[in-house]
Amino acid sequence: MRSKMQQLGLIALGVCLGVMISLNFSAVAEREVLGPLPVEELRAFTEVFGRIKADYVEPVADKKLITEAITGMLAGLDPHSAYLDQDAFRELQVGTQGEFGGLGIEVGMEDGFVKVVSPIDDTPASRAGIKAGDLIVKLDDTSVKGMTLNDAVKAMRGKPNTKITLTLVRKGETKPIVVTLTRDVIKIQSVKSKLLEPGYAYFRVTQFQEHTGETLATAIQALFKQNQGPMKGIVLDLRNDPGGLLNGAVAVTAAFLPQNSLVVYTEGRTEDAKMRLTASPENYLRGKLRDDYLARLPAEIKNVPMVVLVNGGSASASEIVAGALQDHKRAVIMGTQTFGKGSVQTILPLGNSTAIKLTTARYYTPNGRSIQAKGIAPDITLDDGTRSEANLKLREADLTKHLTNDRSEEKAPVAASPTVNSFNFTPAVRPKDVDEKDLKPIPGEVVAKSDYELSQAVSFLKSRGAVRTTAN
């Protein structure tokens, strides 16, 4: 029996240019085949293989045919199962370290085209104005139609300082948008922090990487020291965070919950796909790391009033964090419905530096909610300024062949989001005609000048303080 951490392995996002997914890296690929092999179907496969070898208009290498067969077999299951060739496997492993070459776009496949899930902060894609929901139809002069996601990702990757031209289709635009980007080394700073004003701390997690938990712990200690007084409120920003490593999600959640609180559990067909992960060191410390960096956090971090900001770009590991903090009533979730990625993919190495990425489990919040194809409903919904174009927002439920939500309303009713009135808080109207440049942080800054969602989070926290003071 593998240890829990071996079972857990690396839960990661297909970084930089991959759709948001949770991955479980496994060192053991051999499994007993369940039931007899389908002899007739295998005979048909070999016959097709032979016909192609003998009759196709041009010679085809055996390796290519087998690789394409494996690719098609996995792609036909769900949006997240896939074959990883040597390059894709290597890039996936490198990407979890937080540094890789590319454009900085999280993408998925939809109707044969590449659809932008979210541009990553401070990357060529973000600076060029690429938006979530954009449909990439051409890479340079090559149509994306017919490409696999891995092929498209490979084409967009490349050496830093090389250029690539993307042709985009955007809802509301009458003509395609052509953007030329210069590839760069994408270095993702997974945690950004700022003391917004005395007593109010802001932490943004852009992606869950190997050292996100440690980095967050350091940021928490620094801001609490900088504050030089009681902390009155915390904002955890998970907007457009596409996910990442599961141990990172557990660590971030554990920073704010009592030790041993349930964070997430998974269920699958095999025993090692069934896990219960709690806010305890054995579930967030990886490899040889034995220093419990969360043990040094100030005790009050578990009790300071807290808001978590989410949106449609918050996926996978982000939803695990938001769901756990919501179920334990540790934080109020504000924003819009999250992406709805509630499955786990296991990486099974094949021994030739390739691997398959196979969906092996669903994950559930502590209260037993499945967010698959649903997402996390915020406690307080905020106007995101795009309600008239809601159909532009790509979510798990929009992906072809997505897994269904196995928890019906009867089995596990989704907790109704508390109404705004239950908090005695009414969000301000979203300002209109805001200068576009004020909606993104300027270089060197952590927050944007006109961040409506953040301003509402702080206003809510201040209202909680006022209520508490009055009651006392």
Active site amino acids: 316, 327, 341
* The residue type at 22: S
DSSP letters, 377-399, are PPSEE---S-GGGGGG---GGGS
Q: Are 203 and 216 in contact (CB under 8 A)?
A: yes
276's CB contacts (< 8 A; 6+ apart) are: 262, 265
Q: In this structure, what are the phi and psi dihedrals at residue 64, rounded to the nearest 5 degrees?
A: -65, -45
336's CB contacts (< 8 A; 6+ apart) are: 310, 311, 312, 378, 381, 382, 384
* The residue type at 15: V
Tell me how crowded residue 55 is: count the other CB atoms within 10 A of its CB.
7
Residue 23: name the closest of 331, 343, 338, 448 by CA.
343
* 427-430: long-range pairs with CB below 8 Å, 24+: 427/380, 427/382, 427/383, 427/456, 427/459, 428/455, 428/456, 428/459, 429/383, 430/382, 430/383, 430/385
DSSP letters, 209-271, are -TTHHHHHHHHHHHHHHHH-S---EEEEE-TT---B-HHHHHHHHHTTS-TT-EEEEEEESSG
Q: Which residue has the tokens 């309600």?
A: 387
Query: Which tokens in the block code for residue 329?
Result: 């009533």
How far is 461 from 255, CA to CA, in rounded Å?
19
How far is 74 from 85, CA to CA, in rounded Å?
13
Residue 169: name the closest of 193, 191, 143, 200 by CA.
143
How far is 160 from 435, CA to CA, in rounded Å?
31
Q: Are 218 and 184 in contact (CB under 8 A)?
A: no
